[in-house]
């Protein structure tokens, strides 16, 4: 699989999954996730996928400052309904990292390692902030993405229109793809730790 080089430069996320340790999937349950994992899950790379990646990273670093964070030890509450906007895409990336799943999640083994119903959606409209809480001590943070300071290229719509044309050339498709991924690159490499973009608040 060939992909943009900056995918490998994006910050990784280290987790420890007790279930993975129990089942022998990873020594000591230690798993390092990379942005490419989220791309493979979603099937594409976009600001939403990259933003969800950074939101998950910010949350686990804040909740487990001594690291690594415990996968399966975090509940996630999305703002808005499951089918609203890009909530579904964001939730899938958050499940990948935190292990928190909706009603279709893993039921657990012997009453432990339950992932089912650790991720929920609010039926009421509200802010775009996502709530992350530790199951063991109740520590909670909210994370919200603000990309106003990272605008898309002015000609992106024009490039998209040209790329979608059935008669589009390889060069036209390439120009759009590069312009599209440039905003993702800036988000992941230049703003991963920018509090104005990845806005985190502690509620504990």
Q: How many CB atoms lie within 10 A of CB 48?
A: 19
According to the model, what pLDDT value does residue 78 have? 94
- The reply to whether the predicted model has a pTM over 0.85 is yes
Beta strands in 35-175 (DSSP E): 69-70, 74-78, 119-121, 130-134, 140-145
Residue 80: is its pLDDT beyond 90? no
According to the model, what pLDDT value does residue 197 have? 97
Query: pLDDT digit string (tens) for 1-58?
Result: 999 999 999 999 999 999 999 999 999 999 999 999 999 999 999 999 999 999 999 9
Average pLDDT over the chain, rounded to an integer = 95
Domain positions in the chain are: 6-147+195-202
Q: How many CB atoms lie within 10 A of CB 12?
A: 12
* Calpha distance 147→51 (Å, rounded): 9
Query: pLDDT digit string (tens) for 112-146?
Result: 998 999 999 986 666 789 999 999 999 999 999 99
| Closest by CA position to 190, among listed 87, 50, 18 | 50
Domain 6-147+195-202: which topology?
60s Ribosomal Protein L30; Chain: A; (3.30.1330)
């Amino acid at each position: 699989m060939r992909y943009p080089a900056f995918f490998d430069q994006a910050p990784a996320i280290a987790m420890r999954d007790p279930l993975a340790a129990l089942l022998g999937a990873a020594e000591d349950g230690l798993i390092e996730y990379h942005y490419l994992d989220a791309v493979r899950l979603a099937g594409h790379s976009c600001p939403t996928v990259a933003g969800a990646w950074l939101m998950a990273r910010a949350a686990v670093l804040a909740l487990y400052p001594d690291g690594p964070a415990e996968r399966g030890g975090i509940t996630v509450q999305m703002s808005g309904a499951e089918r609203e906007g890009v909530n579904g895409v964001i939730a899938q990336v958050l499940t990948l990292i935190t292990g928190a799943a909706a009603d279709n999640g893993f039921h657990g083994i012997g009453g432990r390692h339950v992932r089912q119903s650790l991720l929920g959606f609010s039926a009421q409209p509200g802010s775009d902030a996502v709530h992350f809480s530790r199951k063991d001590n109740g520590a909670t943070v909210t994370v919200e993405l603000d990309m106003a300071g990272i605008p898309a290229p002015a000609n992106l719509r024009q490039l998209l229109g040209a790329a979608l044309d059935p008669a589009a050339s390889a060069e036209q498709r390439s120009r759009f793809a590069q312009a599209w991924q440039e905003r993702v690159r800036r988000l992941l490499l230049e703003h991963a730790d920018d509090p104005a973009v990845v806005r985190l608040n502690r509620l504990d």
